[in-house]
Structure 1
């Protein structure tokens, strides 16, 4: 089913591109950068986001082949369109040294196993927990927001060597994390040799 783009969204992207030249980005990186900027109306994401085109290509293929999508919180899950997600926060409990978000990641990992796409936009502790699991993700969209642990957890994600989308600053959040995933969902299939 072809996605119908509303005229307001078309105009928003036209204005974004009139203020920021994104033509130098590779195709999937450009799609992620533009959709994240669109979701936050924040042009600084063009230099704050850290994307790797080969990782995005592999994740795009996995996503379109049916890889499970896991969200850390329901706000992220609600922002992901055209795809069912796994979010185990309602089932999670906190305990000594374990936040509800971290426990939810454990529960989701038990449910989906390797090869999932993880979308973390709220809790740095969810991202930290994912990094200690043997999750073998297709991609981690690690964009938690906040002054405590957010930048550090994203730096740890980048240092882990896992295929990832992250950003350097403390910015992030549910809307931008969902937008990054939606960029991959909306992008047309790519020829292998393109």
Structure 2
């Protein structure tokens, strides 16, 4: 094993064999996808056992390639909540949710997750990879700060019935390099899986 490489567990290998066999020859066959898009889509399906993500996810191969390069150059990775951070397995991440003063956030009309975006941006500056899996308000806040953040990539996959679809639509409309999905689905595990796919690509190019 070369330094920094990753060993794949046999259970994971078998999981990939199963998901590819189920999709082979169908309209959702991931073999038709560009390599980085395929890596992200299959990692999310592997993490969720939800094949619907093949059609639901929105990826841009050029943006993913630039993100892999940014990660290799040690761009910071920022998450919205600790649950998202906990799922990222090969990189230390920045999550400032625990540093938010909830009274001050409420006074400013922000949720704690939205306020944490500002604290994280103050720490990491422009060019980070932002991974948002739980809080639509965090994604909305990042979009308002996009000119300052200039993200290498936004993985915007918040979950929920209130604001999640709209926040992801706004992300796509903003034209930022991004991974998103069209439905209300998402979550910390989904967002972590998406960024892990790119991190693993950097480990095993």
Which of the numbers 146, 156, 166 marks the counterpart of 1:152?
166
Query: What is the CA–CA distance in structure 2 between the aligned matches of 1:181 and 1:188, rounded to whole Å?
Result: 11
Bigger mean CA deviation after superposition, 48-57 or 86-95: 86-95
1:187, CA displacement in angstroms?
1.2
1:188, CA displacement in angstroms?
4.5
The one-character-per-residue Cα deviations of 1:162-189 (angstroms, maximum 9, x if unpaired) are 0000000000000000000000011147
1:105, CA displacement in angstroms?
0.4
1:190, CA displacement in angstroms?
9.3
Matched, 1:79 2:79: no
Q: Indicate the SS of the match to 2:194.
A: helix
TM-score normalized by structure 1? Answer: 0.96
Matched, 1:164 2:190: no
Cross-structure match for 1:16: 19
Structure holding more helix per residue: 2
Following TM superposition, where does structure 1 have runs of at least 4 consecutive aligned residues deviating by more than 3 angstroms?
188-191
1:34, CA displacement in angstroms?
0.2
Bigger mean CA deviation after superposition, 161-170 or 180-189: 180-189
The one-character-per-residue Cα deviations of 1:129-173 (angstroms, maximum 9, x if unpaired) are 000002100000000000000000000000000000000000000
Instruction: Kindly report which structure 2 residues correspond to 1:130-149, keeping only aligned pairs within 5 A, or say none.
Output: 130-133=142-145, 134-149=148-163
Q: Indicate the SS of the match to 1:70.
A: strand
Query: What is the CA–CA distance in structure 1 between the aligned matches of 2:22 and 2:166, rounded to whole Å?
Result: 30
Structure exhibiting the larger radius of gyration computed from Cα positions: 2
Q: Indicate the SS of the match to 1:95.
A: helix
1:65, CA displacement in angstroms?
1.0
Query: What is the CA–CA distance in structure 1 between the aligned matches of 2:172 and 2:21, rounded to whole Å?
Result: 31
Instruction: Kindly report which structure 2 residues correspond to 1:106-117, keeping only aligned pairs within 5 A, or say none.
Output: 106-117=118-129
Cross-structure match for 1:47: 55
Q: Indicate the SS of the match to 2:68.
A: helix
Where do 5+ consecutive residues of structure 2 fail to align? 24-28
Q: Indicate the SS of the match to 2:106.
A: coil
Where do 5+ consecutive residues of structure 1 fail to align? none
CA contact 2:59–2:180 (8 Å) conserved in 1: yes
The one-character-per-residue Cα deviations of 1:46-65 (angstroms, maximum 9, x if unpaired) are 00000000000000100111
Count of matched residue positions in the alignment of Structure 1 and Structure 2: 191
Distance 1:71 1:188, change over 3 A: closer
TM-score normalized by structure 2? Answer: 0.91
